[in-house]
């Protein structure tokens, strides 16, 4: 009997297989121009480092309520705790943003204060961030070469100062979905694109992530040994629209297994404060820049956007409801 093995829903790239940056660039080019979503395996982040990060995250979210919420989101620094439905999208998720501690100290800024559950695990979180930054650097080099740029074009403008590790918890949903607010549409994470350059996404066990493809939603199940990489809006712009930043979401449970808590970790690779977002591949004489500015709600007529201003602008939009 032949057993049908389901096709993976995304292309798979093994980083270790590509010894040279040119070979990696070639592999990245097709997926990034098509949809910008890829499973990446043999990525160099040890499984025990990932398992540890998930254990820390579960310990934090399941811990004492007071410890969990007392360092609430700091929109300016993009750090801290965001509660369920706190974002303007009303998502049924809670999250904690952890900044790369290396940068926070090097720049003379005091390290990010952490809740006790995370403070106790600071060294392990730093290790996770270090490995993930190393993967980000390899991918950014590959992406620069794929665009026929110098291999350090992106890494020199993504030193990690605005990168954030986002620990996510989607709380369990009751079988009848009854305790949910009937006045609001329920979604674990509403359809969105990521605003940074690339996102490195670690999914734990529970599925629910979907990506928009040809007018339908396609499931991107957790795959052991793989992370999901996706292109964000900043890199779509930088590449003159060549690389694609695609809509994705996390749906409400469709099975018994999905009713459980869902944990994931998204690592957002953001352009540096002083980088300048510039459509390097753009042959459109500014038309693309204008379209980007309008679509992201930036002041019309903006001619130069620094990475710092851009990230802040997107953050303000995300937390609009909080400020009002
Ligand atoms: O939890 C997930 O799988 C996706 C999270 C996500 O898309 C995000 O936080 O931007
Ligand atoms: Fe996302």
pLDDT tens-digit map of 157-209? 999 999 999 999 999 988 776 666 666 678 899 999 999 999 999 999 999 99
Q: Compute, in angstroms, the gap from residue 83 CA to the centroid of ligand 2.
A: 17
Pocket of ligand 1 from Cβ distances under 6 Å? 166, 168, 189, 194, 201, 203, 209, 248, 250, 264, 266
The closest of 189, 268, 187, 190 to 234, measured between CA atoms, is: 268
**Residue 177 located in a structural domain:** yes
The mean pLDDT of 32-37, rounded to a whole number, is: 94
Phi/psi of residue 187, each to 5°?
-155, 145
**Residue 187 located in a structural domain:** yes
Number of Cβ atoms within 10 Å of the Cβ of 70:
13
Supply the ipTM of this predicted assembly: 0.99
280 pLDDT band (50/70/90 cuts)? confident
pTM of the model: 0.93
Predicted local confidence at residue 323, as pLDDT: 42
CB-based contact 95:81 (threshold 8 Å):
yes
Atom index in ligand 1 nearest the CA of residue 268 equals: 10
**Residue 42 located in a structural domain:** yes
105 pLDDT band (50/70/90 cuts)? low
Q: Compute, in angstroms, the gap from residue 66 CA to the centroid of ligand 1.
A: 25
**Residue 252 located in a structural domain:** yes
**Residue 37 located in a structural domain:** yes
Domain with residue 116: its CATH number is: 2.60.120.330
Residue minimizing CA distance to atom 6 of ligand 1? 266
Q: Compute, in angstroms, the gap from residue 220 CA to the centroid of ligand 2.
A: 12
pLDDT at 321 over 50: no
Residue minimizing CA distance to atom 8 of ligand 1? 266
pLDDT (tens digit per residue) in 216-256? 999 999 999 999 999 999 999 888 888 999 999 999 999 99
**Residue 2 located in a structural domain:** no
CB-based contact 268:305 (threshold 8 Å):
no
Chain centroid offset of residue 218 CA: 18
Atom index in ligand 1 nearest the CA of residue 264 equals: 1
Q: What domain range includes position 101?
A: 12-323
The count of domains in the chain is 1
**Residue 3 located in a structural domain:** no
Lowest mean per-residue pLDDT among 104-108, 277-281, 287-291: 104-108
**Residue 273 located in a structural domain:** yes
């Amino acid at each position: 009997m032949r057993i049908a093995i389901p096709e993976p829903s995304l292309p798979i790239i093994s980083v270790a297989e590509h010894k040279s940056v040119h070979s990696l660039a070639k592999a990245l080019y097709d997926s990034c121009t098509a949809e910008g979503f890829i499973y990446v395996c043999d990525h160099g982040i040890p499984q025990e480092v990932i398992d540890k990060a998930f254990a820390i995250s579960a310990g934090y979210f399941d811990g004492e309520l007071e410890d969990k919420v007392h360092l609430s989101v700091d929109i300016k620094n993009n750090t801290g705790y965001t509660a369920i439905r706190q974002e303007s999208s009303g998502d049924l998720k809670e999250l904690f943003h952890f900044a790369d501690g290396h940068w926070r100290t090097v720049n003379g800024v005091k390290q990010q204060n952490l809740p006790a559950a995370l403070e106790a695990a600071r060294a392990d979180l730093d290790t996770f961030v270090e490995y993930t930054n190393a993967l980000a650097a390899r991918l950014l080099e590959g992406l620069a070469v794929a665009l026929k740029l110098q291999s350090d074009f992106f890494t020199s403008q993504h030193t990690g100062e605005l990168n954030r590790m986002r620990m996510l918890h989607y709380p369990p949903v009751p079988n009848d979905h009854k305790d949910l607010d009937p006045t609001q549409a329920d979604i674990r994470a509403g359809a969105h694109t990521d605003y940074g350059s690339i996102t490195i996404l670690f999914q734990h066990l529970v599925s629910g992530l979907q990506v928009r493809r040809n007018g339908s939603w396609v499931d991107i199940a957790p795959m052991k040994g793989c992370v999901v990489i996706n292109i964000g809006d900043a890199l779509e712009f930088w590449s003159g629209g060549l690389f694609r930043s695609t809509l994705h979401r996390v749906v409400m449970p469709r099975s018994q297994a999905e009713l459980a808590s869902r944990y994931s970790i998204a690592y957002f690779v953001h352009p540096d404060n002083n980088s300048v977002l510039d459509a390097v591949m753009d042959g459109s004489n500014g038309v693309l820049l204008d379209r980007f500015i309008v679509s992201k709600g930036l002041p019309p007529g903006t001619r130069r956007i620094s990475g710092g201003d851009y990230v802040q602008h997107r953050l303000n939009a995300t937390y609009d409801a909080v400020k009002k």
